[in-house]
Amino acid sequence: MLYVANLNGNSITEYDASAGGSQTPLRTIVGAATGLASPMGVGVDEFGNVYAGNYSASSVTVFGPLADGDSAPIRVLAGSNTDIFGPGGLAVDDAGTIFVSNASSWTMTSYAMAPTITGITVNTGATSGGTRIEVTGTGFSSGVTATVGGTLADVKVINSTRIQITTGAHAAGVADVVITTRGGTATLPGAFTFVTPVVTPVVKPVAVDPAELAPTGGNFSGFFALGGALLLSGVLLLMGRRRFHAIVGRRGSDG
């Protein structure tokens, strides 16, 4: 896509990458809510967020990927601590770092936005790991890392406000979720709990050789299947000369 900062029109226009001639823009960000004030520089990150450097306001406004019309920015970089003075050129790298050339102060400044965490979709999982969690927040970018309870998690970046992480193995207990980017670290204390899975025993029918169960002095035909009935702990089966301790378990099936 092709993005143009219009200094006199206080707008950002977006065109197809192959646009030429008297082409109508696909989208135009313009209006009082946008905060655009003589924009001179424009940049786009890997997720399609649009960054505009506002010369008159000494600010950088950031818009979502599909922003159009009188859209409010999703965040604004401005203030005396920013050292932004009449920004001209602007660029954004894949890690989300913003680079600004300041026409009024003849300086170049760069900013790496610190991440935030607003929530997670799953708050419990097995100690063996493998639980997938979607984390929502801001400032996510390529190179982001995550830990749950101090154990490194696999990370898949969806966009700048959503990532998916997969937990590693960890002892049972409450754990912090920590997200780290070039701009800093965000922590959600005690947000996830590792639990030990409960294993339910399964009793299957066991076929027994009739010869093993033949009573003294008699014949026995057919078969005897353990697991076809509810067996109680400590029951002792006496079948001829053989003794069989019952298996503790649930009611099984004859099949």
Is 132 contained in some domain? Answer: yes
CB within 8 Å of 214: residues ≥ 6 apart: 220, 240
Same domain flag for 13 and 106? yes
Q: Are residues 137 and 169 in the same domain?
A: yes
Please say which residue of 83, 112, 141 terminates a domain.
Answer: 112
Same domain, 100 and 36: yes
152 and 57 in a common domain: no
36 and 92 together in one domain = yes
Domain stops at, among 78, 112, 146: 112
Q: Is residue 251 part of a domain?
A: no
Element (H, E) at 3: strand 2-6
Check residues 204 and 167 and name the one with the higher pLDDT.
167
Task: Tell me, yes or no, whether 101 and 147 share the same domain.
Answer: no
Domain limit, last residue, from 112, 131, 154: 112
3-state secondary structure of 253: coil
**pLDDT tens-digit series, residues 143-153:** 899 999 999 99
In a domain, 200, yes or no: no
Q: Strand 206-208 and strand 184-195: pairing?
A: unpaired
Confirm whether 82 is domain-assigned.
yes
Residue 103: half-sphere exposure toward Cβ, Cα within 13 Å: 16
Together in a domain, 130 and 181:
yes
Is 185 domain-assigned? yes
CB 151 within 8 A of CB 177: no
Could you give the percent of the chain with pLDDT greater than 70?
79
The pLDDT of residue 251 is: 45
pLDDT given at position 96? 78
Please check whether residues 123 and 145 belong to one and the same domain: yes
For residues 51 and 217, the model is more confident at 51
If one counts the domains in the chain, the total is 3
- How far apart CA 170 and CA 177 sit, in angstroms, is 13
- Tell whether 231 is covered by a domain: yes
Element (H, E) at 212: helix 210-213
> pLDDT, tens digit, for every residue of 193-244?
999 988 777 766 666 565 555 555 444 444 444 444 444 444 444 444 444 4
**pLDDT value at position 232?**
40
Let me know: does 143 contact 157? Beta carbons within 8 Å.
Answer: no
Rounded to whole angstroms, how far apart are CA atoms 46 and 65? Answer: 10
Residues 22 and 96 in one domain: yes
Within a domain: residue 253? no
Q: Which domain holds residue 215?
A: 206-245
Query: Which range is most confident: 28-32, 112-116, 142-146, 156-160?
Result: 28-32
Q: Average the pLDDT over 97-113 and give the result.
A: 91
Q: Per the domain annotation, does 252 fall within a domain?
A: no
Q: What is the DSSP string of 28-68?
A: EEESGGG---SEEEEEE-TT--EEEEETTTTEEEEE-TT--
For residue 202, what are the CA distances in angstroms to 145, 206, 222, 245, 252? 40, 12, 25, 17, 8
For residue 179 the two structure tokens come to: 């997200």
Distances (CA, A) of 235 to 43, 238, 246: 77, 10, 6
Weakest-pLDDT range from 49-53, 96-100, 134-138, 193-197: 96-100
Count of beta carbons in the 10 Å neighbourhood of residue 202: 9
Residue 167 sits in a domain whose CATH number is 2.60.40.10
Model confidence band, residue 253 (pLDDT cutoffs 50, 70, 90): very low
Same domain assignment for residues 134 and 101: no
pLDDT band at 11 (very low <50, low <70, confident <90, very high): very high
**Same domain flag for 132 and 147:** yes
DSSP string, 164-190: EEE-----SEEEEEEEEETTEEEEEEE
**CATH number for position 24:** 2.40.10.500
Same domain, 143 and 161: yes
pTM for this prediction: 0.65
